[in-house]
Amino acid sequence: MRKVVSQFGDGPLQQKLQTGDLHFLSDAYLSNGGQETGPTPHEYLGAALAACTSMTLKMYAGRKSMHLENAIVTVDIERVNDVEIFTREIQLQGKLSEEEKNRLVEIANKCPIHKALAGEVQIKTQLVN
């Protein structure tokens, strides 16, 4: 996996992000002191789960020759009592049997980001100069 690098951007909280040759921004809401020039870190976290879920469903359906035309995944994150609650809605489009739909929901729970978020996570921090 390519490393992600963040550094200060323009304005009070904007961050310039880079992974490989890709450049993008993150920011905070106006109400939190940002300028809303990019998704918030939590929105990127939700995007990671949504994108990974949809990719996983597309790959699985393709391998199993299912007639999945599209998987629209919506993720919302809220914090309650210091617990992050991810609400994921999956809309499956195409000619699918109930059995195939149920199997795809099972497969959604096996996407790598779902596993990472639901499993144990360790963050190692080191100061480098």
Does some domain include residue 13?
Answer: yes
Does some domain include residue 108?
Answer: yes
Does some domain include residue 60?
Answer: yes
pTM attached to this predicted model: 0.94
Three-state DSSP at 35 gives coil
How high is the pLDDT of residue 79? Answer: 93
How high is the pLDDT of residue 89? Answer: 98
Does some domain include residue 24?
Answer: yes
How high is the pLDDT of residue 45? Answer: 97
Q: Are residues 24 and 49 in the same domain?
A: no
How high is the pLDDT of residue 80? Answer: 95
- DSSP secondary-structure letter at 11? T
How high is the pLDDT of residue 117? Answer: 95
Q: What residues in the chain have per-residue pLDDT under 70?
A: none
Residue 78 belongs to a domain with what CATH number?
Answer: 3.30.300.20
How high is the pLDDT of residue 63? Answer: 98
- Residue 5's Cβ-count burial label (10 Å; 0-12, 13-18, 19+) is exposed
List helix spans (H) across 64-97.
Answer: none
How high is the pLDDT of residue 71? Answer: 98
User: Please, what is the angle between helix 41-63 and helix 98-108, to 10°?
Assistant: 140
Domain range enclosing 50: 41-118
Does some domain include residue 127?
Answer: no
How high is the pLDDT of residue 36? Answer: 98
H/E stretch holding 6 reads strand 5-8
CA angle 47, 2, 8 (to 5 degrees): 70
Counting the structural domains of the chain, the total is 2
Q: Are residues 1 and 51 in the same domain?
A: no
Quote the CA–CA distance of 57 and 99 in Å, as a whole number: 14
